[in-house]
Amino acid sequence: MRAMVLNLAGQPLRLAELSLPQPANGQVLVKVSACAVCRTDLHVVDGELSKPKLPLVLGHEIVGRVIGLGEAVTNFKIGERVGIPWLGWTCGQCRFCRAQRENLCEAARFTGYTLDGGYAEYTVADARFCFHIPDSYSDTEAAPLLCAGLIGYRSLKSTRDARRLGIYGFGAAAHIVAQVARYQGRDVFAFTRPGDFAAQDFAKSLGVVLAGD
């Protein structure tokens, strides 16, 4: 398969021919349809996240179709469309995993960082950490929801039924969660870097009550 590979932090990705990965026990093999670019991908390339698997296939906002199943996979079938996010594996045993806070698992592995990701024609992923993607979303619409959408919604849920929400920084996650919050009838206040009028105007276009520094 073709893949874009990072060999060393600070270097451009290179096009490479890699062996087709095979799904291990509990994994799915996915033909990639779309993979969005997250700011975290740029942090990895720039060396700001210091412990990537090298060489590495980046990309953790992945949408594709299941074309192979490892043993013990029961939640997906061949041909189904799936999403693959940043969190790619956890131990399931530590205090964080047992408290349903597995994103804090100290043994966690991450797609496109410690596991190969979606800047390739195919990838494998732990089926426990994949999502069914509704038909109402196109591949490119669904891809950013696998990171920006997830982290924004996780934060939104923690606010419970709060009527007023303040969002500090108005980027990918913020613009998605603002739309959900407005749909729920909440008042949203957006705060940006001083002078970032483009982000402020974007926030206002999504119906926030106030957007400013």
**pLDDT tens-digit readout, 34-93:** 999 999 999 999 999 989 999 999 999 999 999 999 999 999 999 999 999 999 999 999
Average pLDDT, stretch 129-146? 96
Specify the CATH number of the domain 2-137.
3.90.180.10
What distance in Å separates the CA atoms of residue 193 and residue 20, rounded to the nearest whole number? Answer: 44
C-beta of residue 141 within 8 angstroms of C-beta of residue 179: no
Specify the CATH number of the domain 150-212.
3.40.50.720
Q: Which residues on adjacent β-strands are paired with residue 83?
A: 63, 131
pLDDT value, residue 10: 94
pLDDT value, residue 50: 85
What distance in Å separates the CA atoms of residue 75 and residue 125, rounded to the nearest whole number? Answer: 13
C-beta of residue 204 within 8 angstroms of C-beta of residue 184: no
Average pLDDT, stretch 15-27? 97
CATH 3.90.180.10 positions along the chain are 2-137
CATH 3.40.50.720 positions along the chain are 150-212
* The two structure tokens encoding residue 41: 């991908």
% the chain with pLDDT above 70: 100
Of the pLDDT bands very low, low, confident and very high (cuts 50, 70, 90), residue 213 is: very high
3-state secondary structure of 96: helix
Strands (E) in the chain, as ranges, are: 2-6, 14-17, 27-35, 56-57, 62-69, 81-84, 87-89, 109-110, 122-126, 131-132, 164-168, 187-191, 210-212
